Homo-oligomer: A and B are copies of this chain.
Amino acid sequence: MEEICRDTFRKNQDSIKIKKEAVAVKNLAAIFHTTLRLSNEKGFQTMSLRDLSRTSGLSMGALYSYFTSKDELLEMIQDQGRRLTLKILTAFIDIGAPPAEKLRAAIRGHLYLTEVMQPWFYFSYMETKNLDKRRQKKAIEGELATEKLFIDILEEGVRQKVFQVADPVMTASLLKAMLQDWYLKRWKYAGRRISVDQYADFLIGFMESAVRPAP
């Protein structure tokens, strides 16, 4: 978390008025954490900056030292999440491994990442439509970029004849939907006492039976 905030601080150093890194990182962490908590309860629009100020312990004036508008706060959080996703996912996928193993690693990587940062991903998903057109486009590109990782793995498997997939793009889309369900419907899986490992195991088995070549 601290690392993420440091990253955000350095990327937005020109628009952030606070210059001491230690102070800025500490406060950014509080701002992000509180924003995610309040927004995921009742939505980003409904959360007033007064709420954020009260709950985070920073005054209204202090908040505006870290962003120039409420919309920019939204964008900062979204952007940080996107960059992290691509970084983690590509790190999870061993470039030299066979496709079947890559697929398993990519599914686990996605689930573990979104498990650890569930509020972040839930927030990004739910608030995307409240962004302006330009920022929405960036969000869409982010979704397609991670989907592309899965398409590439499926196509590689087809070429090596270890997968049989009628339509890699559609298959990757469905897989993405099932991966996202994990952080979108946490209430459901928590209620059923399903752990991220159980979900991962089941989803991997489900996918493998769907892409397995006919005998």
Count identical subunits in the complex: 2
List A179-201 residues whose CB lies under 8 Å from chain B.
180-181, 185, 187-189, 192, 194, 199
Residue of B144, B166, B174 near A181 (CB, 8 A) is: B174
Q: Verify B173–A181 contact, CB threshold 8 A.
A: yes
Residue of B46, B167, B177, B202 near A178 (CB, 8 A) is: B177
In the complex, A203 has a CB within 8 A of chain B:
yes
Q: Which residues of B contact A173 (CB under 8 A)?
A: 181, 185, 188-189
In the complex, A205 has a CB within 8 A of chain B:
yes
In the complex, A55 has a CB within 8 A of chain B:
no
Give the complex CA separation of A45 and B45 in angstroms: 6
Size class of the A contact interface (CB-based, 8 Å): 35 or more
Main secondary structure of the interface of A (DSSP, over half): helix
Give the complex CA separation of A199 and B173 in angstroms: 11
User: Which 5 residue pairs of A and B lie closest in terms of their CB atoms, listed nearest first?
Assistant: A177-B181, A45-B45, A177-B177, A174-B178, A43-B130
Report A's interface with B, CB cutoff 8 A: 40-43, 45-46, 126, 129-130, 140, 143-144, 166-167, 169-171, 173-174, 176-178, 180-181, 185, 187-189, 192, 194, 199, 202-203, 205-206, 209-210, 215
